[in-house]
Amino acid sequence: MNNNSSSTLSAAPVLRRGISSSVKLTLTGALLGLAAAASAVQVAVTVRNAAPDNGIWAVNPWLGVHDGTFDGFDVGSTASAAVESAAEDGNGSLLAAAFAASQPNGVGAVIAGPIAPGNTHTQIFDLDPANPDHRFLSYFAMVIPSNDAFWANDNPSAYPIFDGAGNFIPRSFRIYGSAIYDAGTEVNDEIPANTAFLAQAAPNTGTTENGVIAAHPGFLAAGQGGILDQALDRFGRTLTFTGADFTQPMYPVAEITISLVNAPSSRLLNLSSRGTAGTGDETQIVGFVVSSGADKQVLVRAVGPGLADFGVDGALADPGLTIFDVDGNVMGTNDDWVAADVAEATSAVGAFAFADGSADAAILMTLPAGAYTAQVDNDSGVEGVVLVEIYEVSN
Residues of this chain that interact with Ca ion (CB under 5 A) are: 71, 74, 88, 148, 154, 182, 185-186, 188, 194, 204-206, 209
Q: Do the Cβ atoms of 123 and 3 come closer than 8 Å?
A: yes
Q: Do the Cβ atoms of 272 and 26 come closer than 8 Å?
A: yes
Q: Residue type at 183?
A: A
Q: Alpha-carbon distance 183 to 316, whole Å?
A: 40
Q: Give the shortest CB-45-to-Ca ion separation in angstroms.
A: 20
Q: Which is nearer to Ca ion, 9 or 158 (CB)?
A: 158
Q: Which is nearer to Ca ion, 182 or 255 (CB)?
A: 182
Q: Do the Cβ atoms of 134 and 127 come closer than 8 Å?
A: yes
Q: Give the shortest CB-84-to-Ca ion separation in angstroms.
A: 5
Q: Which is nearer to Ca ion, 186 or 245 (CB)?
A: 186
Q: Give the shortest CB-185-to-Ca ion separation in angstroms.
A: 5
Q: Alpha-carbon distance 96 to 101, whole Å?
A: 9
Burial of 222 (0-12, 13-18, 19+ CB in 10 A): middle
CA of residue 203 relative to chain centroid, distance: 29
* Continuous segment of H or E residues that includes residue 330: strand 330-334
**Burial call 176-206: b when 16+ CB within 10 Å, e when fewer:** bbebbbbbbbbbbbbbbebbbbbebeeeebb
Q: Alpha-carbon distance 229 to 301, whole Å?
A: 42
Q: Give the shortest CB-330-to-Ca ion separation in angstroms.
A: 54
Q: Which is nearer to Ca ion, 64 or 287 (CB)?
A: 64
CA proximity to 166, closest of 109, 137, 127, 139: 127
CA angle 61, 67, 73 (to 5 degrees): 50
Q: Give the shortest CB-370-to-Ca ion separation in angstroms.
A: 53
Q: Do the Cβ atoms of 222 and 247 come closer than 8 Å?
A: no
Q: Alpha-carbon distance 145 to 46, whole Å?
A: 22
Q: Do the Cβ atoms of 171 and 137 come closer than 8 Å?
A: no
Burial of 235 (0-12, 13-18, 19+ CB in 10 A): exposed
Radius of gyration of the chain (CA): 23
Alpha-helical runs (H) found in 304-372 = 305-308, 339-349
Q: Give the shortest CB-75-to-Ca ion separation in angstroms.
A: 7
Q: Which is nearer to Ca ion, 126 or 154 (CB)?
A: 154
- Around 117, how many Cα atoms within 13 Å sit in the side-chain half-sphere? 19
Q: Give the shortest CB-178-to-Ca ion separation in angstroms.
A: 17
Q: Give the shortest CB-164-to-Ca ion separation in angstroms.
A: 21
Q: Give the shortest CB-59-to-Ca ion separation in angstroms.
A: 13
Q: Do the Cβ atoms of 377 and 322 come closer than 8 Å?
A: yes
Q: Which is nearer to Ca ion, 27 or 187 (CB)?
A: 187
Q: Give the shortest CB-158-to-Ca ion separation in angstroms.
A: 10
Q: Which is nearer to Ca ion, 140 or 354 (CB)?
A: 140
Q: Which is nearer to Ca ion, 19 or 158 (CB)?
A: 158
Q: Which is nearer to Ca ion, 81 or 382 (CB)?
A: 81
Q: Which residue is nearest to Ca ion (CB)?
A: 206
Q: Which is nearer to Ca ion, 161 or 198 (CB)?
A: 198
